[in-house]
Amino acid sequence: MAQVSMTVNGKAVSGEVEGRTLLVEFLRTGLGLTGTHVGCDTSQCGACVVHIDGESVKACTVFAAAADGAEITTIEGMANADGTLSVLQQAFQDHHGLQCGFCTPGMVMSAADLLKTNPSPTEHEIRDWLEGNICRCTGYHNIVKAIQAAAATMSGQAQAAE
Amino acid sequence: MPKDHGIGASSKRREDIRFLTGKGQYTDDINRPGQLYCHFLRSDVAHGRIAKLDTAAAAAMPGVVAIHTAQDLAAVGGVPCGWQVTDKNGEAMKEPKHPILAEGKVRHVGDPVAAILAESLEQAQDAAEAIELEIEELPAVVDMKAALSGESLVHDDVPGNLCFDWEFVQENKDAVAEAIAGAAHVTRLELVNNRLVANPMEPRAAIGEYDAARDEHTLWTTSQNPHVIRLLMGAFVLSIPEHKLRVVAPDVGGGFGSKIYHYAEEAYVTWAAKAVGRPVKWTASRSEAFLSDAQGRDHVTTIELALDAEHNFVALRCHTLANMGAYLSTFAPCIPTWLHGTLLAGNYRTPLIFTNVQAIFTNTVPVDAYRGAGRPEATFQLERVIDKAARELGLDPAELRRKNFIPPDAFPYQTPVAVQYDTGNYGATLDKALEMADAAGFAARKAESAARGKLRGFGLASYIEACGIAPSSLVGALGARAGLYEAATVRVNPTGSISVFTGSHSHGQGHETTFAQVVADMLGCDEGQVDIVHGDTNRVPFGMGTYGSRSLAVGGSAIVKSVEKIVAKAKKIAAHLLEAAEGDIQFADGQFTVAGTDNALGWGDVCLAAYVPHKYPIEELEPGLEETSFYDPANFTYPAGAYVCEVEVDPETGRVEVQNFVAADDFGNVVNPMIVEGQVHGGLAQGLGQALLENAVYDAEGQLASASYMDYAMPRAADFPSFAVDHSCVTPCTHNPLGVKGCGEAGAIGSPPALVNAVIDALSEHGVSHIDMPLTPTRVWEAIQAAKA
Amino acid sequence: MYAFDYLKPSTLDDAAAALAREDAQAISGGQTLIPTLKARLAQPSALVDLTGIAEMRGIAVADGTVTIGGATCHAAVAGSAEIRAAFPALCDLAGRIGDPQVRNRGTIGGSVANNDPSACYPAAVLGTGATVVTNSREIPADEYFQGMFTTALEEGEIVTALRFPVPQKAAYAKFVQPASRFALTGVFVAKYSGGVRVAVTGASEKGVFRWAEAEAALSTEFSEGSLAGLSVPADGMIGDIHGSPDYRAHLVGVMTRRAVAAAG
């Protein structure tokens, strides 16, 4: 067992982990942050996507020990400070970008990373980016719409701020 | 103007808030104090006799609390089957025992042999490797045609591996043969409806807990129908009476059929929690799900369509081998029979239909309903053979369909395959789809593709489905061992807020929003005043759950019935308070008024009076405002539509790219258009996934070759374009109060033939007339090579 | 997963010492190894994480050579403006490995050390005649790849960097396996003043290989037309549910032509 410390959604946390403890297990079992899901064991479905130091990764394919000292953001840390939905989360609701909700945390975390690096992606770029996020409910149609809408809202906000 | 609330409004989903913030509660998110982790040792061979099973060494390993095998479960029943099919000779289907843990024999890769309970999952997995298991392998039964020879038997007491041999409509057998023999043209097609894995993104999970002081069992499980699980498991497997067994299906991450069934794992954790006196938790890995979730489809079919000289369909004959897998899953026998044979009329006035279905046991994972369930198989063969007939006869596929459609003035229409369609207008959806797909511009697009060396194809399919499952008396006559009504309790609280308890279960469908829209519309209140409760047998009345596109048509109707009763009682209370005759009370927009006067009472005043009955007709009326209804539908609902697919094929690689997909559906009245469209999108992706990508492939030894996402191709975002969907063609259902039809499965039913027809259209110049699904690049390329040779 | 010790050294020497432990195994991005561990298909006594070694990270472009540290992730290569200016085909290849999240963790050293027969990087390494730099020596690509999951690496040897000679033109054409999204067949074509190299991944039972006939033809004239009539035999090609040996052999020809066309 080893001690790990990291910042999760802005809070310093620490805990004892085995070498084999995955980051997703530490988040779900160790910290009770069950919004990050596990949908496969071959690193493909993306239900477990979180951000490590601002980059989206699959928390099922990272050891907790490897994230020692890192800044982690999970779906639980994505809402606005006042608890209201962020622009991206709101766009998913507005455009019905989720049904059963299981893949949703990973979708949101993945999309957030996309919009950070590419603030106005084309439909093709969005679909391409979602390669590592499998959804079985929506046919992706409304997820793509939601991300496009979020991009438009965010760029409008950015312009207004200028 | 679109409505902004109530029926017809695209109300935003209230459940999204918790899912978007990571606050959903799925079964694996639940942890019980002192829980043990369960791991199943599963067979790694498809067929064999258990020669040795010694758990002693494993039981002594660190953290291991108990290991159970079939021996320990001697007093426990097998997993029951919920539907009995009667074969062509009037005999009951073969129904071999499906033990919780393998008894003597293993019958598919993944068949559980032992269950290990330990303090941690890793310890349980370590112990599993220490179990001494020796299996004497037997020849695996994989191919259905070979299975019928009976050389190797999945179940020793089922000769020829034949579960049943079913004929329908038996009286028409000779007439159909005669019509085919004498027809001007007969089109024949052999095809495979490929086996699929449902793959809801949440793997199955179950937690059992036992409270010895109260003698109460609780099971949390990933189920589409907790009451059905309580009934089947309590009555047939574990002998626990209903009042001592609570089944909770909390947030469930998709089902698509695969979470309807009662599974061995949930019975085991319920049993084990009592046996060891601690809660027991099991969560499937995805790899385990591939070997233990009931799979779908897997039909091998020959279909013949006979036409007269004027191109009228005169007869249809089908023969199908339907794979049951190793054991009968809960509803398996009804899928290739009553959910399949009864749909063979499709949208057409074919007068004579006969089908023969042989259901086969094989050493593969059990097969049961998967989104559409029987109806996609019926639609696929029908829409493929019609397209082939059009091609053979040099006819426009749309015109051939139009000519044979049941005309809009022929409803109600009694088909020759038992069901009676209440309403429909198939030409309208076909016209709409062709218009949306810009059929007129196809030739130019094809030429443009050809200039780039690509082959472009245009394909269409019509579909009809029987859903809103189902009239109990009818399904009872057909072999169902359950009723298929739905229940709802509407509880008006003292201050006028409303709690609805429904037997339907939402696992992505958005019931919490849609049902609230219905209730709010009827009561003239805000949707926010209505709460929808589901998924807990201790809270909701006995109901049958969600599958077969039944939730709004059947579950919603039960809610409507209860609200009607509430309004009727509230009017009586209002009449008393307003000192008017009951007949003079009118209720609209949340107000009770006396006809012809200004006298009025608000909803809240009446609700409060019901619970604070100081001035109340107590002699005639009980206090309180709560009503329960059980709604049993008079008929199925029959959504129908037309789908158009346009593809581009790269002849060099065989890769198919979907360029455009159009769906024009008639769902009757629509409560929430946004949610309905979302249901269609999801169905389309699953149908197109079947047609293009997905395939559960077993090798000759019965090993699943596509046992993970590395080999089972799940549709990704980049595999399809955005879809064009429409539900403006409306013929309301005539027999339920909302006039609604089911919408959940349509997309998966109509899309596979539309895509395959489009690809065949693209390849027709190469002489390709059929390719079996999925139309992977390698298959398409090979078909082109074969046609060239 | 079986239990193991997790070690994250910060120097190459410490890593080499840790790897000297019996059944110790190196891990870099872990995007292939961790799923393998989950399936209990490997049982290392210790995993030695190489991503904490500073000298194994980073990108340098100088004197006609692109040098990439072994622990550099795919996303860093895909997004490198420096590499893109000199050798855009390498960025394109890296940008199509796996998915964005895998590219944020998976590393070039890990990919090359693992030598999955369907991985993309081996095609670039062999297709450019790159040099595999380890903590003890430099290995030419032509000697490095020795068949499926087999390389010239000794026990405990660490791939510290890859050195790619910058080609005049190059392209990678990948035909994806629809489930895994690995290469069902991928072809890397690179033109140098001394000739053309063609490397094929995903197709052969022996892993990545060079297609000599195509190289000879393209070295004479770098055009799609030069490939007319050339094909690889189906014998020895992978056959599975995603494609027969015949299909893969056919795809080698198609993807080679497409790579040549894309290289311009």
- Which of B603, B631, B659 delimits the end of a domain? B631
CA B788 to chain centre: 40
Residue closest to B507 by CA, chosen among B255, B685, B757, B722? B255
The answer to whether C179 touches B714, Cβ cutoff 8 Å, is: yes
Among candidates B122, B652, B693 on the partner chain, residue whose Cβ is nearest the Cβ of C178: B693
- Are C6 and A113 in contact (CB < 8 Å)? no
Across-strand partners of B186? B306
Confidence of residue B4 (pLDDT cuts 50, 70, 90): confident
Angle at B213 between CA B212 and CA B219, to 5 degrees: 45
User: What confidence tens digit (pLDDT) does each residue in B422-451 have?
Assistant: 999 999 999 999 999 999 999 999 999 999
CA distance B504 to C35: 37
- C34: which chain A residues are within 8 Å (Cβ-Cβ)? 22, 43, 60-63
Instruction: Please tell me which residue, A158 or B69, carries the higher pLDDT value.
Output: B69
**Token code pair at residue B545:** 């759950």
Q: In what order do the strands lie in the sheet with A11-17?
A: A11-17, A2-8, A71-73, A49-52, A55-58
Query: Is B423 part of any domain?
Result: yes
Judged by CB atoms within 8 Å, which residues 706-725 of B form the interface with C?
706, 709-714, 716
Helix, strand or coil, per DSSP, at residue A99 = coil
According to the model, what pLDDT value does residue B492 have? 98
Across-strand partners of B313? B307
ipTM exceeding cut-off 0.90 for this assembly: yes
Among C99, C102, C120, C177, pick the best mutation site for testing chain A contact (most A Cβ within 10 A): C99
- Are A141 and B723 in contact (CB < 8 Å)? yes
**Token code pair at residue A107:** 């979708």
Instruction: Write the CATH number for B213.
Output: 3.90.1170.50
Say if B495 is an interface residue toward chain A (CB within 8 Å). Answer: no
**Burial of C14 per CB tally in 10 Å (0-12, 13-18, 19+):** middle
CA distances to B598, B640, C181 from B424, in Å:
44, 7, 43
Judged by CB atoms within 8 Å, which residues 56-115 of C form the interface with A?
75, 98-102, 104-105
User: Are B555 and B613 in the same domain?
Assistant: yes
The answer to whether B134 touches B52, Cβ cutoff 8 Å, is: yes
Element (H, E) at B220: strand B216-221
According to the model, what pLDDT value does residue A84 have? 97
According to the model, what pLDDT value does residue A1 have? 83
User: What confidence tens digit (pLDDT) does each residue in B574-633 have?
Assistant: 999 999 999 999 999 999 999 999 999 999 999 999 999 999 999 999 999 999 999 999
Gyration radius of chain A over CA positions:
16
- Are C241 and B706 in contact (CB < 8 Å)? yes
- Percentages helix, strand, coil for chain C, rounded to the nearest 5? 35, 25, 40
User: Are B356 and B501 in the same domain?
Assistant: no
CA distance C202 to A4: 39
Using the predicted structure, report yes or no on whether residue B478 has a pLDDT greater than 70: yes
CA distance C35 to B688: 29
CA distance B575 to B560: 22
Residue closest to B636 by CA, chosen among B448, B419, B388? B419
Domain A87-161: assigned CATH number: 1.10.150.120
Domains of chain A: which residue ranges? 2-77, 87-161
User: Are B701 and B774 in the same domain?
Assistant: yes
Using the predicted structure, report yes or no on whether residue B2 has a pLDDT greater than 90: no
User: Are B452 and B525 in the same domain?
Assistant: no
- Are B695 and C241 in contact (CB < 8 Å)? yes
- Are B122 and C3 in contact (CB < 8 Å)? yes
Say if B674 is an interface residue toward chain A (CB within 8 Å). Answer: yes
User: Are B642 and B585 in the same domain?
Assistant: no
Half-sphere exposure of A83 (CA within 13 A, CB side): 2
- B285: which chain C residues are within 8 Å (Cβ-Cβ)? 38
Q: A40: phi > 0 → left, psi -120 to 50 → alpha, else beta; which?
A: beta
Residue closest to B269 by CA, chosen among B200, B211, B220, B223? B220
Say if A20 is an interface residue toward chain C (CB within 8 Å). Answer: yes
Residue of A nearest to B718 (CA): A127
Among candidates B16, B286, B717 on the partner chain, residue whose Cβ is nearest the Cβ of A140: B717
Among candidates A19, A49, A58 on the partner chain, residue whose Cβ is nearest the Cβ of C4: A19
User: Are B613 and B650 in the same domain?
Assistant: no
Domain count, chain B: 3
User: Are B706 and B559 in the same domain?
Assistant: no
Element (H, E) at B499: strand B498-502
Mean pLDDT across the stretch C143-151? 96
User: Are B98 and B112 in the same domain?
Assistant: yes
The domain in which residue B76 lies consists of 31-138+201-254+259-292
The answer to whether B110 touches B365, Cβ cutoff 8 Å, is: yes
Percent of chain C with pLDDT over 70: 100
Q: Given 3.30.70.2740, 3.30.420.10, 3.30.390.30, 3.10.20.30, which CATH number is that of A2-77?
A: 3.10.20.30
- Which of B589, B612, B631 delimits the end of a domain? B631
CA B23 to chain centre: 27
User: What confidence tens digit (pLDDT) does each residue in A14-66 have?
Assistant: 999 999 999 999 999 999 999 999 999 999 999 999 999 999 999 999 999 99
Neighbours of A83 (CB within 10 A): 7
User: What confidence tens digit (pLDDT) does each residue in B224-272 have?
Assistant: 999 999 999 999 999 999 999 999 999 999 999 999 999 999 999 999 9
User: Are B626 and B644 in the same domain?
Assistant: no
Mean pLDDT across the stretch A77-101? 97
Query: Is B165 part of any domain?
Result: no
- Are C47 and A129 in contact (CB < 8 Å)? no
Question: Residue B508 phi/psi, 5° resolution?
Answer: 130, -15
Helices (H), B205-277: 226-232, 264-276
Mean pLDDT of chain C: 97
According to the model, what pLDDT value does residue B3 have? 80
Using the predicted structure, report yes or no on whether residue A160 has a pLDDT greater than 90: no
According to the model, what pLDDT value does residue A161 have? 76
Q: In what order do the strands lie in the sheet with C169-176?
A: C169-176, C183-192, C195-201, C209-210
User: What confidence tens digit (pLDDT) does each residue in B517-554 have?
Assistant: 999 999 999 999 999 999 999 999 999 999 999 999 99
Q: In what order do the strands lie in the sheet with B132-137?
A: B105-106, B48-54, B132-137
Say if B122 is an interface residue toward chain C (CB within 8 Å). Answer: yes
The answer to whether B661 touches B643, Cβ cutoff 8 Å, is: yes
CA distance B631 to B641: 27
- A68: which chain C residues are within 8 Å (Cβ-Cβ)? 8
Mean pLDDT across the stretch B38-62? 98
Judged by CB atoms within 8 Å, which residues 129-148 of A form the interface with B?
130-131, 133-145
User: Are B104 and B38 in the same domain?
Assistant: yes
Report the gap between the CA of B65 and the closest CA in chain A (Å): 21
Among B4, B14, B19, B32, pick the best mutation site for testing chain A contact (most A Cβ within 10 A): B19
Chains that touch C (3 or more CB pairs under 8 A): A, B
Half-sphere exposure of B562 (CA within 13 A, CB side): 29
Using the predicted structure, report yes or no on whether residue C159 has a pLDDT greater than 90: yes
Using the predicted structure, report yes or no on whether residue A162 has a pLDDT greater than 80: no
- B685: which chain A residues are within 8 Å (Cβ-Cβ)? 136, 138-140
Residue of C nearest to B782 (CA): C247
Percent of chain B with pLDDT over 70: 100
Judged by CB atoms within 8 Å, which residues 131-190 of C form the interface with A?
180-181
CA distance B743 to B371: 11
Gyration radius of chain B over CA positions:
27
Confidence of residue B1 (pLDDT cuts 50, 70, 90): low
CA distance A77 to A83: 10
Angle at B708 between CA A60 and CA B288, to 5 degrees: 80
User: Are B592 and B698 in the same domain?
Assistant: no
- A55: which chain C residues are within 8 Å (Cβ-Cβ)? 75, 104
Report the gap between the CA of A67 and the closest CA in chain B (Å): 21
According to the model, what pLDDT value does residue A157 have? 85
The answer to whether A146 touches A97, Cβ cutoff 8 Å, is: yes
Instruction: Write the CATH number for B511.
Output: 3.30.365.10
User: What confidence tens digit (pLDDT) does each residue in B492-514 have?
Assistant: 999 999 999 999 999 999 999 99
Neighbours of A40 (CB within 10 A): 27
User: What confidence tens digit (pLDDT) does each residue in B86-126 have?
Assistant: 999 999 999 999 999 999 999 999 999 999 999 999 999 99
- B24: which chain A residues are within 8 Å (Cβ-Cβ)? 35, 101-102
Among candidates B23, B507, B682 on the partner chain, residue whose Cβ is nearest the Cβ of A35: B23
The amino acid at C191: K
- Are C178 and B777 in contact (CB < 8 Å)? yes
